[in-house]
Structure 1
Amino acid sequence: MQPEKHHADLRVTALVSIGKHPGSARERRAGQDARAVELGMTLASDGLEVLHAGDPQAEALRSYAGMGLDVLRVLDQEENADVVPALCRYLSQDKPDIILTGVRAESGESSGMLPYLLGEALGMPVVTGIADIVAVDGGEAQLLQALPRGQRRALRVPLPFIASVDMAAPAPRQSAFGPASRARLESTPAGIACPDEVRAQWSEAPARKRPKRLQVVKAKTAADRFKAATAKSQGDGGRILRDKPAPEMAQAIFDLLLEEGVVRGGR
């Protein structure tokens, strides 16, 4: 028998940001943040609060509301203001059981530091890159953390905690126009003005693609060059070192750095 995921008495806060489409650069709901909202609705739809710090007039916020929210709360502050002090002030008073965020934002600084800064300020443990919250029972939550190559790690974390939601989490439901237009966007003054002076001096530009590494082919004939160009790559995609002695794992990393030319071996 599977544990019950929905908890009526659980208080969950999902932090959302303004996303940016990678092709058109139009504002939209952020993919990871939308998954955090979906996870919160599955876990505690009655006790879920969706919170945004920024411009309450941002049209992209309606995309979150269109997932079936009645209310979306916005801490009103300027564009270049630091969101951490305002969120810390509000969350320290609200005191939810679980705070969900995306791993990183799709626009702005996109450093992925928000969960860690909130965890340090609020004194709450932080779990990164979760794929699901299996159950909450006895003051603890059973989580599945997303690992590379589709692996999962089972964790138990005491309440309250902060978790960043990975793209491996369940996909968010479609945003509907009707619920989006009927939802209330309640704007609350942030109560603290903390302009990010460093970010205000930045200049943003589209990222450039990194050049691909070309394989050096030492072929003498046309047949050898054709064979090298059409041959399937024999790379094994790396290795996973787990429960190995520390010297062995350190040596494997050092050998890889030598192979890639990052460091040079001494005589």
Structure 2
Amino acid sequence: MPLNIVSLVSVGRHPQSGRARRAEQDSRAVELGLKLADTALTVLHVGNPDDPVLRQYAGMGLPSLTVLKQEDSVDTVPVLQRFLEQKNIDIVLTGVRAESGESSGMVPYLLAHALGWPVVARVADIVAVKDGKAEVLLALPRGQRRAVSIQLPFIASMDHAAEAARQSAFAVGLRATVESVESVGEVDQIRVDWQESVAKTRPKRLKTVKAKTAAERFKAATAKPEGGTGKVMKNETPKEKARAIFDLLLEEKVIR
């Protein structure tokens, strides 16, 4: 019996240009889904069915995509929950977090809680699925992997260590069918009052310790400070002390 796999996709954002694109982790989820289910894979998006970014996912060789038509203000978790409960789903693949919007990384966990399914985070690969269980490789630091066995159905969030997505073909994406499904949504009341602003550059750290092991980090944290060009100010006025601190911050380019 073929696997019933769903890959959740979102509209990504390029980190430099800010232009809309297919999300890096979501596209890896689609790549893994194609490996497991081939063209029987269901690619699901909640939002605007006319968004041109969806064609970038379709260009990976998908004959169709399913879009649950909703406004941006709608909470996606209840919408996805109702749709998935109506289907006999084995595995749901998604990215760790979105590249736009809230980008909290909570959707896989909230959706798994609503469905009563387990969630597996930072997946590098799903090696095999047999007898209702999946053999999953988890990505660990320094290129290490951990093999785990998990019962179907479950939700898996993809790590950057997963296989990179194939190139998207423009003509293939245009030929794909985008199926728009009307669904009942619930406005995210918490998000309505939020105000979004451009992120500011983080201040430069005065001292950066490059340590690879726990022992090196402990040694750096407990080491005595080395002598430098600083001076001890005891009898100066508060104004002079403040000026010295301000000049140091300027010199270290913490402020401009």
Sort the TM-score into its range (normalised by shorter chain).
0.7 to 0.9
1:212 has 2:218 as partner: no
Q: Which of residues 116, 135, 146 is equivalent to 1:142?
A: 135
Q: Which amino acid aligns with 1:175?
A: S
The structural deviation recorded for 1:73 is 0.2
Following superposition, the deviation at residue 58 of structure 1 comes to 0.8
SS where residue 34 of structure 2 aligns?
helix
Q: Tell me, which stretches of 5 or more residues in structure 1 are unaligned?
A: 1-7, 217-232, 241-252, 261-267
Residue in structure 1 matching 2:195, options 193, 203, 224? 203
Residue type of the partner of 1:13? V
Residue 211 of structure 1 deviates from its aligned partner by: 1.9
Q: Give the partner amino acid of 1:195.
A: V
Give the SS at the match of 1:45: helix
TM-aligned CA deviation for residue 201 of structure 1: 2.0
Which 4+ stretches in 1 moved above 2 angstroms?
none
Distance 1:153 1:212 in 2: 36
What do residues 182-229 of structure 1 show as CA deviations (whole Å, max 9, x unaligned)?
000000012x2201122122222221222232239xxxxxxxxxxxxx
1:154 corresponds in structure 2 to 147
Shift in CA distance, 259/11, structure 1 to aligned 2, threshold 3 Å: farther
- AA aligned to 2:69 is D
Local SS of the residue matching 1:24: coil
Q: Is 2:230 aligned against 1:238?
A: no
In the aligned structure 2, how far is the partner of 1:198 from the partner of 1:120? 19
Q: Secondary structure at the match of 2:86?
A: helix
User: Matched residues in 1 for 2:81 and 2:132: separation?
Assistant: 23
3-state SS, counterpart of residue 62 of structure 1: helix
Partner of 1:223: none
The 2-side partners of 1:47 and 1:203 are apart by 40
Of 15, 23, 26, 1:22 maps to 15
Q: How far is the alpha carbon of 1:259 from its aligned partner?
A: 5.4
Over the matched positions of the two proteins, sequence identity in percent amounts to: 55
Question: CA offset at residue 236 of structure 1?
Answer: 3.2
* TM-score, structure 2 normalization: 0.82
Question: Match of 1:181, as an amino acid?
Answer: L
Structure 2 counterpart of 1:82: 75
Q: Distance in 1 between the 2:18 and 2:129 partners? A: 38
Output the CA distance in 2 between the equivalents of 1:98 and 1:155: 15
**Partners in 1 of 2:111 and 2:72 — Cα distance?**
19
In 1, Cα distance between equivalents of 2:123 and 2:101: 23
Q: 1:130 aligns with which of 123, 129, 138?
A: 123
For 1:156, the aligned partner's letter is S
Letter in 2 for 1:237: K
Q: Distance in 2 between matches of 1:47 and 1:136?
A: 16
Q: Secondary structure at the match of 2:57?
A: helix
* CA RMSD of superposed structures (Å): 2.3
Query: Any idea what the Cα deviations from partners look like across 1:226-247, whole Å, max 9, x if unmatched?
Result: xxxxxxx7x432339xxxxxxx
Aligned length in residues: 223
Q: Structure 1 residues 207, 138: closer, same or farther in 2, change over 3 A?
A: same
Match of 1:194 among 182, 186, 210: 186
- Structure 2 unaligned blocks of 5 or more: 224-256
* TM, length-normalised to structure 1: 0.78
Whether 2:109 is the aligned partner of 1:108: answer no
Q: Deviations over 1:138-184 (max 9, x none)?
A: 11111111112221111101111110001110000000011100000
C-alpha distance 155-78 of structure 1, shift in aligned 2 (>3 A)? same
